[in-house]
């Protein structure tokens, strides 16, 4: 008998003080049996950082990347079905990144474990031609602390200022400072 996904709920208040963007998100997250707390929380963080301010170009949705190999962790399709943004969490291979890059206008990757430097050094020279790719590294220690905030029902406050994120859940909080490895973007 196959194991089923565990459902998590997150109420998120997001404040981007650099761009004066403030939003609330009520998320329902299906966590695959093989997914860790850390990876699921990085997905939540990536969602909040990439959610459009309005749905004129479509809304950002969680994909079924753990179940379906042809889907990302998240994607945004416009109202005609055109793929606007493909978001990966983890360390996808060159083939997956290239395929996603050819399908969508923008691709973002959020890598979060201690093997990121090794993964990136083997991949970086192979993807330099992809002008629509942005690769972020979340330090492993910080992503582990983020994973420790996981609860079945969460009330998260996320603040972005000067490239640093503060994520709070009740009495606990974590600071995350992502590094852009490729694409020259800012948060």
pLDDT value at residue 187: 76
Cα torsion 27, 33, 37, 40 to 10°: value is -40
CA distance 109 to 86: 9
- Domain-embedded: residue 156: yes
Q: Which CATH number belongs to the domain containing residue 28 in this structure?
A: 3.10.640.10
- Give the structural domain span for 105: 6-175
pTM: 0.94
Total number of domains constituting the chain: 1
- Domain-embedded: residue 1: no
pLDDT value at residue 111: 98
Q: Count Cβ atoms below 10 Å from residue 95 Cβ, excluding itself.
A: 9
Contact between residue 89 and residue 143 where contact means Cβ atoms under 8 Å apart: no
Q: Count Cβ atoms below 10 Å from residue 107 Cβ, excluding itself.
A: 28
Parts of the chain with a pLDDT under 50: none
- Domain-embedded: residue 55: yes
> Is residue 34 helix, strand or coil?
coil
- Domain-embedded: residue 181: no
- Domain-embedded: residue 56: yes
Longest dimension (CA), the chain: 49
pLDDT value at residue 1: 55
pLDDT value at residue 67: 85
- Domain-embedded: residue 118: yes
pLDDT value at residue 33: 92
- Domain-embedded: residue 95: yes
pLDDT value at residue 54: 82
CA distance 23 to 20: 10
pLDDT value at residue 105: 94
- Domain-embedded: residue 183: no
CA atoms within 13 A on the CB side of 11: 3
CA distance 150 to 130: 34
């Amino acid at each position: 008998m196959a194991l089923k996904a565990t459902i998590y709920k997150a109420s998120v208040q997001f404040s981007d003080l650099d761009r004066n963007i403030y939003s609330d998100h009520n998320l329902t997250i299906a966590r695959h049996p093989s997914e860790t707390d850390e990876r699921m929380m990085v997905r939540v963080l990536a969602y909040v950082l990439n959610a459009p301010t309005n749905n004129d170009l479509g809304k950002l949705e969680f994909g079924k990347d753990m179940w379906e190999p042809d889907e990302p962790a998240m994607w945004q399709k416009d109202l005609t079905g055109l793929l606007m943004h493909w978001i990966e969490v983890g360390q996808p291979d060159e083939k997956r990144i290239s395929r996603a890059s050819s399908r969508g206008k923008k691709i973002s990757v959020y890598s979060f474990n201690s093997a990121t430097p090794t993964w990136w050094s083997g991949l970086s020279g192979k993807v330099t031609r992809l002008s629509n790719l942005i690769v972020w590294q979340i330090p492993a220690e910080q992503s582990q602390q983020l994973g420790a905030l996981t609860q079945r029902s969460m009330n998260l406050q996320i603040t972005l200022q000067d490239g640093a994120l503060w994520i709070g859940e009740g009495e606990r909080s974590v600071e995350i400072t992502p590094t852009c490895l490729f694409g020259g973007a800012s948060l």
